[in-house]
Structure 1
Amino acid sequence: MQQEYQRYYVPAQSPWPFVGAVALFLIAVGAANTVIENSNGEDGFGTRVLGLGIITLLVMLFGWFKNQIDESMSGLYSDQLGRSYRQGMSWFIFSEVMFFGAFFGALFYARMISVPWLGGASNNAMTNEVLWPGFEAMWPLISTPGGTTTEQMGAMGLPTINTIILLISSVTLHFAHVGLEQGKRKQLTLMLGITILLGIGFLSLQVEEYIHAYHELGLTLQSGVYGNTFFMLTGFHGMHVTLGTIMLIVLFLRVLKGHFTAHNHFAFQAGSWYWHFVDVVWVMLFMFVYVL
């Protein structure tokens, strides 16, 4: 008996991967030059290139999303393609786990190996005297050999509020998903809208936190390994929250147009996976960067 196979849709060539690569290149160049210019008290080329890169990335995201939505609503997708999307999203999130794993690894290496080593641990007293006489192994490292001293970013205040915000956003997104599966469109729309507002609130408070760190605590990218790891982890997480919020906004617009059903809503499910992943990363970040 001949087995029947579903048709597997293969899209035409798309310009969006190339546009996305250009956007990421502009962001990388712009961000690097912005940091250098800020260190030298300048403002110009880097900021403009960074802004152009961000705009290009947003154009790419919405353009690519539109193509995907049009293909899906045209009935071009099959169950086999749906399984491919699930596998692709799973591997993407796994790659993000490895991405943050490398950053957390850098934090642990600096905190658990480098700092004790510089402090003379494991019979390295000579290293301590040669590289940093009088250095005391402690974390966070708020004093550098060059004489730069900063203050620690405490867990209370904005970091705790942001943690609560993200935890609540996971709950509201879960109830939005439940509303979708049960056909409760009002619950879906309300809970998804609240989740988006919570994401925007998180980003706004993080900007306020950075301003506080720079102007009141003296905590900058020039603040040694503590400042570097702090901004590296929180900054990249904030970038992921931004991307997740954009995804949720696209899903919200689709919900308003009547898209998704209880049995056909993988795009919504993928956005939920990503948002919950970002929330889990923040909980770990909050514990290891702010609390411990």
Structure 2
Amino acid sequence: MASTTEAHGNGASPYKHPYHLVDPSPWPLVGAFGGGALVLGIVLWAHSGISWVFWLGVLMTLSTMFFWWRDVVKESGTPGLHSPIVRIGLRYGMTLFIASEVMFFVAFFWAYFHFALYPEHVSGAAAPAIWPPRGILTFDPWGLPFLNTMILLLSGCTVTWAHAALIQNDRKSLITGLTLTVLLGVTFTSLQAWEYSMSPFPFAGGGIYSSVFFLATGFHGFHVIVGTCFLFVCLIRATRGHFTPEKHFGFEAAAWYWHFVDVVWMFLFICIYWWGAGEIAHH
């Protein structure tokens, strides 16, 4: 134990290899039980009206996220632990995670295009079948959806500016760029909530169009919230000087995730709001 502490104090790796062997941690187990309680809580709340299991799962999941990520941040600042090979592994992990998220949205787009291209497959569709189904009024794509598109594209520019400032060791511009990106993310979420409140079709009982619309755009909205939280944590870390031009994968991963969110929204706007528009609802 003394040799390990001495190695840390000298800025060298405590191991005789370039890999990081993590210390025993309770958070994988706590997170697993939290996720199980979360899903079980949803079922119990929906069928029996019992809500405390759900909130227990939320508390355990949020606690796991906070304390586990806190430990990872501490590890990143410990000399010798996040070696170049370890950072490559982190990049592979983030890349695979984003790839798995892409598959989620592939499923949503598959469902949407199945019914959009073959509306006769919609249960109870009148002949001739059309998409959107008869009686469905859609959003004007050039109203709030277009404004939100511009907001997300602008946020992609500001996070790229922040990244460039970090590479150039310009801490002031880094913090400014991240602050603007977080504010734009909050603005997007607020406008989407406002848009949902004015929806011309109901959230529940609105048929297949309502289901695929809210599933795809709502799941993307959840990703925007996650990405905003991700970038907000990076903003806090940036103000504390955690990032350097040579070592900043935490911020880089957040930027990758945010660009992924931007690209998915472009597909949603083009395919669902624009291409899939029917008779426009007038608010």
Confirm or deny a common fold (TM above 0.5). yes
**Equivalent position of 1:160 in the other structure:** 146
Counterpart contact for 1:25–1:53, Cα < 8 Å: yes
For residues 1-292 of structure 1, the aligned pairs below 5 Å read: 6-29=17-40, 45=50, 51-75=55-79, 76-113=81-118, 115-117=119-121, 132=124, 134-141=126-133, 143=134, 149-213=135-199, 217-292=200-275
Higher RCO (CA-CA < 8 Å; seq separation 6+):
2
Give the distance between the partners of 1:162 and 1:204, measured in 2 at CA.
10
Change (3 A) 1:248 1:133: closer
Q: Work out whether residues 6 and 78 of structure 1, in 8 Å CA contact, stay in contact via their aligned partners in 2.
A: no
| 1:10–1:194 distance in 2 versus 1, CA, 3 Å | same
- Structure 1 residues without counterparts, runs of 5 or longer: 119-130, 144-148
Per the alignment, do residues 137 and 99 of structure 1 end up closer, same or farther by CA in structure 2, a change over 3 Å counting? same
> TM-score, normalised on structure 2?
0.83
Quote the Cα distance in structure 1 between the aligned partners of 2:37 and 2:147: 33
In 2, the alpha carbon distance for the partners of 1:30 and 1:54 equals: 9
Letter in 1 for 2:95: S
What is the CA–CA distance in structure 2 between the aligned matches of 1:196 and 1:116, rounded to whole Å? 43
- Please report the TM-score for the alignment, with normalisation by the length of structure 1: 0.81
Aligned residues: 260
Residue type of the partner of 1:68? V
How has the CA–CA distance of structure 1 residues 202 and 24 changed in structure 2, closer, same or farther, with 3 Å as cutoff?
farther
Cα distance in 2 for partners of 1:133, 1:286 equals: 25
| d(CA) in 2 for partners of 1:245, 1:16 | 23
Kept after mapping to 1: 8 A contact 2:156/2:262: yes
For the aligned residue pairs, the C-alpha RMSD in angstroms reads 2.5
- Aligned partner of 1:146 in structure 2 is none
Unaligned runs of 5+ in 2: 1-15, 276-283
Q: Determine helix, strand or coil for the equivalent of 1:11.
A: coil
- Shift of the 132–80 alpha-carbon distance from structure 1 to 2, 3 Å rule, reads closer
Q: Is the 1:199–1:241 Cα contact (8 Å) retained in structure 2? A: yes
Change (3 A) 1:199 1:8: same
State the distance in 2 between where 1:133 and 1:178 align: 52
**Counterpart of 1:127?**
none
The farther-off stretch of 231-240 and 58-67 is 58-67
Q: Distance in 1 between matches of 2:194 and 2:56?
A: 23
